[in-house]
Amino acid sequence: MPEKRTRTGPVDPRLLRYARSSRGFFLAAGALSVARVAATIAFAWLLTAAITGVLDRTDGLARTLMWLGVVVLVRAALVWADERVAAGAASRVGSELRLALLAAIRRLGPSWLARRNSSALTVTAGHGLEALDVYVGRFLPQLVATVIITPVLLVVMWGQDWISGLTAVICLPLIPLFMALIGLATRSVQQKQWRTLQRLATRFADTVSGLGTLRLFGRERKAVASVESISDGYRRETMTVLRITFVSGFMLEFLASISVAIIAVSIGLRMLNGEMALSVGLFVLLLAPEAFFPVRQVGVQFHAATEGLAATADVFSVLDEAAAVSPADDAVAGTPEGPGVLALIDVRVQRDEPLPPVSFTARPGTVTVLRGPSGAGKSSVVAALRRAAEFTGTATLDGIDLRHLSPASWLAWADQRPGLIAGTVAANVALGDDAPAADDVAWALRTACSDADPDRELGAQGAGLSGGQAQRVAVARALYRHRRGAARVIVLDEPSSALDAHTEARLWRELRGVADRGATVVVVSHRSTAESIADDVVLVAGAEARS
């Protein structure tokens, strides 16, 4: 795993690398900031000219007011354009990072994903990247504006009145100094809040998925109390972040107001003493708040964007891991050519406890049954086939190393957990098919011995079906993929564990028929009845395979 890099400034350079649209956004934000500072100077100059013109009763006041109105409209248009560009950039950057994250997860493979918390990744890809909108759409434009607008206005102020310019230069660093100090505290609290949110999502997902078991053993109240405890912790940390944000906002406003007041008092005293002309003093006084305003807004937007920053740290760590993967480790795109001969030689899955090596060859037209006691490693072998577990030894499909093949290109697989989604039964069977065929869905359900109505609507995680019905729909999904030519090898992990003896016998006969029509079928089962259709039986217990 690559070393996790930390952000060393307000802009993580990895943002420019992984979200290419951000580069054009910085250029657009810079151009708009230049136009805004020019409009600000013009506004202050024209307003000063209008006021002094009224006092001195000079000619050309109408023309000055006309140009002042034009500048006001230009400033309004620039603010609108800034908001529009920022909103579009935030949407594009969020989409790019989300797609990059999904591509990185795909490249890292199921074995990497199996070691990660899927609920935490979901929060990062969903809520976390949505929070990034504030960072990209508000904080970054304000940061660019501060870098351009504030120095230009300080130079103009210094050119008109060096005392006011010097005062602003002395007072201005106090704002980022306090902002940095408060920002350090905010970042620590925000990161803690973000981790708590991920723990809350994980605990909630685990509680929902295991609710039936918890109720069976009377432990649902304790699970609810645990979720409630984490929720209270998240609430407290959120309130802490808000308190720090309010204090930070107060300090920034206070320092900026005091700084502008010092400049105003200095200008007023010198104007009373006749040391400064009204036009110069008024012009500088109008520019002073504008010079401090971007810095104040950077602090405000930084606190609003801290949650998005915490999320991007997680996103960039995943992208860095994917970037470190050797190109040779990438899966081969497309469906590999060949008859579908699956060969494993001394494959030993890497788990916490040592597992025995497994060797077998499954050919088209045959059924290979993996048998063994619970915990022997049968399901681990299936996990290795779909790249969800690391292994040593040799595993090939038609001579190609499985490590270099995407499982989706050759494998039709049904797990012990059906993994159904909300939608119709047909949508679950044809999952992943952009153009599902109703006839093939019906064939797959019939072959899987399922009497489920294809148009029946299911709830979350397949709610509405019994365990045996859900299991048969999962088997039908694997058969459908094979029928549609998306996979030549069918691997079923305990497909009959929730079936009665009669339905199980029917399923074995149907699977035998699928194999006889040319499929390579591998069945993991602890039931001896599976041997009735097997061409090869592999004992996963350290014993030698027998035919």
- Residue-level pLDDT, tens digit, the chain, 547 residues: 344 444 445 667 788 788 877 778 888 888 998 999 999 999 989 888 888 888 777 777 888 889 989 999 999 999 899 888 888 888 888 888 888 888 888 777 776 776 776 767 777 777 777 777 778 888 888 888 888 888 899 899 898 888 888 888 888 777 766 666 666 666 667 677 767 777 777 777 777 666 666 676 777 777 778 778 878 877 887 787 777 777 777 777 777 788 888 888 888 888 888 888 888 888 888 888 888 888 777 767 776 666 677 777 778 888 888 887 655 455 544 556 778 899 999 888 877 676 788 899 999 999 999 988 777 788 888 888 888 888 888 999 988 888 888 888 888 988 888 888 888 999 999 988 888 899 999 999 999 998 888 888 888 777 788 888 888 999 999 999 999 888 889 999 988 887 888 888 999 999 999 999 999 999 998 888 888 899 999 888 743 333 3
Find, among 506, 510, 514, the residue nearest to 482 by Cα. Answer: 514
Distance CA 453, CA 371 (A): 33
Backbone angles phi, psi at 400, to 5 degrees: -100, 130
Distance CA 163, CA 492 (A): 81
Q: What is the C-alpha R_g of the chain?
A: 33
Give the other-Cβ count within 10 Å of 63's Cβ: 11
Token pair in block for residue 382: 């299936």
Backbone angles phi, psi at 458, to 5 degrees: -110, 155
164, 266 contact by CB (below 8 A) = yes
Q: Give the helix/strand (H/E) hosting 479.
A: helix 467-483
Domain 342-539: which CATH class? alpha beta
Determine the pLDDT at residue 181. 63
Backbone angles phi, psi at 134, to 5 degrees: -65, -40
- Fold held by 16-328: ABC transporter transmembrane region fold (1.20.1560)
357, 326 contact by CB (below 8 A) = no
Give the CA diameter of the chain.
Answer: 110
189, 237 contact by CB (below 8 A) = yes
Distance CA 232, CA 181 (A): 27
Determine the pLDDT at residue 335. 57
Which residues have CB under 8 Å from 439's CB, separation 6+? none
The length of the chain, given as a count of residues: 547
Distance CA 533, CA 302 (A): 65
Return the SS3 of 499: coil
Token pair in block for residue 272: 């009373």
Parse the chain into domains and list their residue ranges: 16-328, 342-539
Token pair in block for residue 250: 């107060």
Distance CA 334, CA 405 (A): 9
Q: Give the helix/strand (H/E) hosting 537.
A: strand 536-539
Determine the pLDDT at residue 234. 78
Determine the pLDDT at residue 479. 93
Return the SS3 of 492: strand
Written as one string, the DSSP assignment of 371-407 is E--TTSSHHHHHHHHTTSS-EEEEEEETTEEGGGB-G
